[in-house]
Structure formats: C-alpha cells, structure tokens
Amino acid sequence: MLRLVKTARGQLDGLLKMLEEDRYCMDISNQIMATEAILRRANREVLGAHLRGCVKEAFQSGREDEKIEEILAIMEKIQR
C-alpha cells in the first residue's frame, strides 16, 4: 500500500511538472488517469484490509452494525 501511494505521489509530481511546462493536454489527461488508477488500487487494498481485520473482529465481538454502516457509507462515496 505504501509503495502504491509513493508511486501516486511521484505521478502527481510528474503531473505538476507537465502543467508547469504547459505540456500537451492529452498527455496531462493520461497522467491524471494513471494517478487515479493507482489511488483506486490503494483504496481497494485499504478497504480489503479493513474487511479482513476490523470488520471481521467487529462481527466476532457483536459490533457488526457500526462496521456495516461504515462500509455502506464508503460504498456510497465510491459510487459518486
């Protein structure tokens, strides 16, 4: 996960440089989409770890309702 976020940071730095250099719009757009893809992948990993850890633990200890609401809320944000 850390590697993915560092990669995204590098891509953002590249994007800033492209903007400063007034590079071709389509190249900038491709860089934005590549950065978004890495951040989506990082988010999937975070959510997977949350499900395997925090949510599993909540179900085992009878606190599943709060975790279900958290997951529903994040799913709504993802769909926007």
d(CA 57, CA 64): 9
pTM for the complete prediction? 0.81
pLDDT over threshold 90, residue 55 = yes
Going along the chain from its start, the domains and CATH numbers come out as: 2-79 (1.20.58.1000)
Token pair, residue 3, equals 């590697």
pLDDT over threshold 90, residue 1 = no
pLDDT in tens, 9-52: 999 999 999 999 999 999 999 999 999 999 999 999 999 999 99
d(CA 46, CA 53): 10
d(CA 73, CA 50): 14
Q: What's the chain's length in residues?
A: 80
Q: What angle do CA 25, 30, 35 make, to 5 degrees?
A: 125
